[in-house]
Amino acid sequence: MMETIVVYFTPLASTRIIAYVGLGLAHHMAIVYTNSAGQSFGVSSGPSIQSTLQTPQNAISALNSLDKNEPSDFGTLMSDPHNNTPFEKGRMNDYYTQDFQGKEFPHAVVLEGPDLSAKWQTIVKMYAAIGQMDLTYSPTSQNSNSMAGEALRRANLPVPFSSEARFAPAVFTHLPAYQCELLHACRKK
């Protein structure tokens, strides 16, 4: 069985207002690796404070916090504590690939090959290292998609798109990966 690295795009219902200005529904990116034995592993991230509402006022406030390099009302950008835990697609612990009704999220295959474990380990290390940096979380400029994009780039993989999921805010924001080497948590490729 060939191994895969796939990006899944979870629609963010709290950002439906963005659709009215022509950008479409915003999406959160999660990365899933399936090894040759058929085991799946995922990585995701988000704000340390989940209860803050995604309103324009809070988003603007977060940009101000970003300028000051301090936690926003959303807190800091953190890695999911369940990252790199095996799961079965379509089961209860699969919140990477499907919604609560079992409908598969839009997705794009990043790479398929006989052994992608080294690329996966780079992605996992990047998520862990960035999650330890206490970076300001900003829903529009430095967020979970920024972490996904940075991890993919550091693994020398392209950032994919899905025709169904056109808008992933801040996916091309470069995070300060040089700090990752200072923490000795990942290696430069």
3 state SS for 46-103: EECCCCCCCCHHHHHHHHHHHHHCCCECCEEEEECCCCCCEECCCCCCCCCCECCCCC
| pLDDT higher than threshold 50 for residue 51 | yes
DSSP characters for 94-132?
Answer: --SSB-TTSPBPPEEEEEEES--HHHHHHHHHHHHHHHT
Residue 43, pLDDT score: 97
Whether pTM exceeds 0.85: yes
26 pLDDT band (50/70/90 cuts)? confident
| pLDDT higher than threshold 70 for residue 187 | no
Q: Taking residues 61-72, what's their average pLDDT?
A: 92
| pLDDT higher than threshold 80 for residue 84 | yes
